[in-house]
């Protein structure tokens, strides 16, 4: 399971709106765990990959860039933040090197 996040543009430049897509969710039990861990996010989309794995999309507004980074560094799974052009940012989050035992 991995997650990809990107900042969305709004009229208010001081808001930090992020969308986060979680991929590779296998089975209803794991999906329910993911949904529970994102209770303070808004669920904005759901779909399936060609491997029949569930994909979930969430949205949340952060007060500051620091609050986003603090949350992202505490995220327990692999997380990549994308730039506006779709390339990954060079920020390393804590979840990037977790063992398979720590996956959901």
Q: What are 60-99's pLDDT values in tens digits? A: 999 888 999 999 888 888 889 998 888 888 776 765 544 3
Instruction: Return mean pLDDT, the chain.
Output: 84
Q: Quote the pLDDT of residue 83.
A: 87
Q: For the whole prediction, is pTM greater than 0.85?
A: no
Does pLDDT of 22 surpass 90?
A: yes
Q: Quote the pLDDT of residue 89.
A: 84
For residue 6, the cross-strand partners are: 19, 82
User: Taking Cα atoms as reference points, which of 71, 79, 73 lies closest to residue 94?
Assistant: 73
Instruction: Determine the average pLDDT of the residues in 3-8.
Output: 91
Rounded Cα–Cα distance for residues 84 and 45 (Å): 20
């Amino acid at each position: 399971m991995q997650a990809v996040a990107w900042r969305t543009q709004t009229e208010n430049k001081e808001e930090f709106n992020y969308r986060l897509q979680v991929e590779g969710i296998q089975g209803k039990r794991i999906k329910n765990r993911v949904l529970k861990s994102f209770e303070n996010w808004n669920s904005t989309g759901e779909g399936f990959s060609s491997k029949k794995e569930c994909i979930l999309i969430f949205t949340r507004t952060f007060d500051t860039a620091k609050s986003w980074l603090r949350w992202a560094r505490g995220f327990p799974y692999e997380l990549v933040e994308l730039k506006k052009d779709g390339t990954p940012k060079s920020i390393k989050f804590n979840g990037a090197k977790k063992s398979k035992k720590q996956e959901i």
